[in-house]
Amino acid sequence: MDIEELMPQQPEDAGKEKKVSPLVSLEKDLELYKDSIHEIAIEIIAEGISKNPIFVAHQHTVSIGEMILNREELNTNWTIQASMFEEFVEKGIIQPAYKELFLKAYKKPEDYMCVFVIVPEGANFIYYPYNVGKR
């Protein structure tokens, strides 16, 4: 699956160069959201839905996961959707040949949120600690 399929609507200023990295605002929002995200991650694991929750951070409409934190409702910069490893494999974002490699690199979900960050330039996985001071 291509990034364009996940993010069909491009912002009007997609071609313009931005001076500040969007990751600055993402870190600010993740700090605000971390307790809610942690609670949902633990719930996903406890209910047996997945051992590997993945949260999708975006600023546009995407077609993966289920919205849990809406930037428009919360007056923030990033919307967060809850997903899981299995959906990423099913949609072809994580190729079958890389499943084991991904799971080997996956950090303990009780300590880190796995975030798939989607920006107009592309997408990537990051791990953000729930307890920033205890990295």
Segment 91-114 mean pLDDT: 95
Question: In terms of pTM, does the model score above 0.85?
Answer: no
pLDDT classification of 135: cutoffs 50, 70, 90: very low
Structure tokens at 37: 């995200």
Distance between CA atoms of residues 124 and 111, nearest Å: 19
Distance between CA atoms of residues 59 and 10, nearest Å: 10
Q: Work out the widest C-alpha separation in the chain, in whole angstroms.
A: 43
State the pLDDT at residue 30. Answer: 94
pLDDT classification of 67: cutoffs 50, 70, 90: very high
* 8/34: higher pLDDT: 34
Distance between CA atoms of residues 52 and 18, nearest Å: 33
Question: What is the percentage of the chain residues whose pLDDT exceeds 90?
Answer: 73
11-60 pLDDT, tens per residue? 555 555 546 677 789 999 999 999 999 999 999 999 999 999 999 999 98
Residues in CB range of 125: below 8 A, 6 or more apart: 54, 114, 115, 116, 117
Confirm if 45 and 53 have CB atoms less than 8 A apart.
yes
Closest among 28, 26, 90 to 57, alpha carbons compared: 26
Distance between CA atoms of residues 79 and 62, nearest Å: 10
List of E strands, the chain: 53-58, 66-69, 79-84, 112-119, 122-129
Structure tokens at 134: 């205890």
